[in-house]
Amino acid sequence: MITQNKFGVYLAYATGEIILVIVGILIALAINEHSNSEKKVELRNSYIIQLNDEADRNLKKLTFLDNEAKQMLKELNTIFKLLLNKEYDNPKLSTKSFFLIVSKKFYPVMITYENLKFSGDLKLFDNLNLRNAISETYETFNPIEKLESSEQQAIEAYYENFLMPKVKFRTMGVSSENYGKDIYFENMVLTRMTTIAQNQEAYTNAIESIERLKKTFTELQNTN
């Protein structure tokens, strides 16, 4: 009977010890989980600050390019009107034709986004809508890159196939007709007007997307 009582005491003691160990482990896990959650929130907030900074810098670049595109369209529209009215001797035709070979390129700042994407830290943004908004904003840069590349090819072809031969003609002392009468020149004017208008539309889409993302970040920080 005494042995049985002692065994019962030992069993109860051992069970209590096991329960205490389990409770201790659970508490430690909870503390660790809480600590990890806080670190994740801190890291996410750090990313938001960096993404906001990138957004501001890209916004500044895109706004500049958008204004430049508007100005270039204005200049090219003047050339188009001169051609339409067959004012080939108008001095503006030669001076403003310079804008046919002028191009601006958008170099987006994407370091933070690339780090998020390739490190897998994008999942820190557990709000799926926010995560998609971040990705979609940076994806608006892709059409700009494609349009700029296509535009650059057109400029290079115009320079090599039309402009340089005209320069060689003048260097050799051979007179040539006003290049404004050349169909290649007219087509180039129309091409540039089209591509620049497309670029401007792409700039506008990217600007609006960045502004929406910044607004989302602001709302998120205000709720925390």
> Which residues have a Cβ under 8 Å from the Cβ of 49 and sit 6 or more positions away?
none
- Cα–Cα dist 224/212, whole Å: 19
Angle at 76 between CA 73 and CA 79, to 5 degrees: 155
pLDDT of 209 strictly over 90? yes
pLDDT of 191 strictly over 80? yes
pLDDT of 27 strictly over 90? no
Domain range list for the chain? 2-223
What band does 44 get if pLDDT is binned at 50, 70 and 90?
confident
Predicted pLDDT at 42: 83
Percentage of the chain beyond pLDDT 70 is 76
pLDDT of 148 strictly over 60? yes
b or e along 39-70 (b: 16 or more beta carbons within 10 Å of the residue's beta carbon)? eeeeebeebbeebbebbeebeebbeebbebbe
Whole-prediction pTM: 0.78
